[in-house]
Structure 1
């Protein structure tokens, strides 16, 4: 039995990168031609020149709120806001609604969201029955997992959410070997099974999503005979990364380009530094170029011990949208980045908002390679100019700020 979903997972990293970069200019051109929204976002971009990571990093990042805004602006005419290149009919078998609402199309291709490799890495195999406890109501989560299960050759029981007693009865009688759903609901099922004496011992493996899976909870599942793995996917992109038996971060999916950028900007950070996950997909049906997920993570060095050769990320590390209201004014991560860019000496900056309600205080903590005389005063002037608010400046040595992806820290007391 093969240890890998397909041969793409074990490609030489240089071969994978070359293939992605060969496909990139074609995808940019396709996005400009097939997606009205991407055509507007990428207006003036020479697609043929986008042949490197550096060229990609010069393109604008499109974030979730912008996608929502474009959809809201086209309500009644184009529910997808000009982003979808799919046409209703066999090429678009389903349409979903995520909170917002944001409408998402499903393409008609096999394993449209590419989740098969995540389930395969977790030990799902042809002939397994999967108890799928993601919601089948409006949102795409259940179908994202179901399509991957079918790609592996599994049968699926569409359990959905809620009705715990009926779900336990189905598990006891159908004897599924695998589970997909949120880790919190899996725990609820197992605790209820123990309370009622229901036999759910057929479940041996699971792929979870939608929530973080702390190591402590993973150990709790293992003590009850379940190998539980994390997956990281979105309705816009599909599978982004997945956990393997090495339990060392999440391996990036194939056919996407992933960048980690400083929150509020499109600027890639150094390897190992925490930032926002930005993804470019090669999906022709929904051709998002530099889509900002709003999630924080960091690249890990090296490759997976299982033999999968793609890069890895640490996993979900929080949200990148740290917009904060200070003295009645919104302050955005992009404004902090704007201030930092004005001074070549600045390596990194973090705005800390402290004090109590109605008595906000702002301090911009700045790492700088050198501190020429008057730099702090000039930075303070930039703070006022960009945010329209006064703030103090604290000078720090390079490396002094924590590597947690925070650009704005709200340290206020709300008692």
Structure 2
């Protein structure tokens, strides 16, 4: 074997993934990558350390680029392909999972719920402002005792004349304390229903959750509904039952399939750059066989995850994507991303635990991504049911 050096390739260049992405999609991806480099990345260490992100400042910038609800049609939304949305999520999460979560919750949960299941009046009232980043939304499904089993939720909405009155508590709600509107799911005599709740309604509060070790560049809150009175037209009219919230979760999970690839790519690129510059025993760390074996194995898993994401994106663009296929992508890509982040930390050594490098920050964030929008165990059961025809959730 020759000892001469050759120009290095970026990890995904080995898979020639650019040949699988259209020109418009590449342009969108490049635009988001530039935004993250200029507006997000310089502040991430500070935001993560402080446990705060300026959502109100970021949202209008994201809106101007058309990133909020970008895969939805009409009402000020960009109407891009699902694959383009996925690539945007990839670049956002290459910055930080918290920033991608901001966009996912806004577009794939809160906006999608209104767009897919809302009345025309609800759409006109909220979607244009949410697409512009002028109004922030959150999505209230998870409860303190009901995460993987949302059907057991205790939040309840009861009729009082023409009004609805909501009482209950939601937990782990991204953007909750800075939201203008919350989509809240509750038990009713008609089954589970969704409600569009302006957050200035009396009885609504959203205390922020602090002391987090993960997703620190993201705002996480509890939602407390203490006799929140809403008019009859606050209910989402087009859906009853778990079909409503689960359809929204599938939208968000799709973004995670791509987003996890972004976090893994950022870790791997940072580790390669560090290994090229770090000398040990009078030669670069990158020149050692053990280091190259780690980089090769991680690149292989990154590329497979990227190819899977693109395949699922094309299926979604053809309206042929099944929920269990989204589970395949979420389970594999997040699991591999967190493994890559941990392995990259070993290459960086002690430097890898600091915020001077992104690896430990990504690893910590991915601990949350591993369990939200469906834990790995839930996705294993979804896949298992598809393979056997037998549900094993209970």
TM-score, length basis structure 2: 0.26
Which has a greater percent of helix?
2
Structure showing greater relative contact order (alpha-carbon pairs closer than 8 Å, 6 or more residues apart) = 2
Task: Return the TM-score normalized by structure 1.
Answer: 0.25
Instruction: Please say which structure displays the higher CA radius of gyration.
Output: 1
Higher strand share: 1
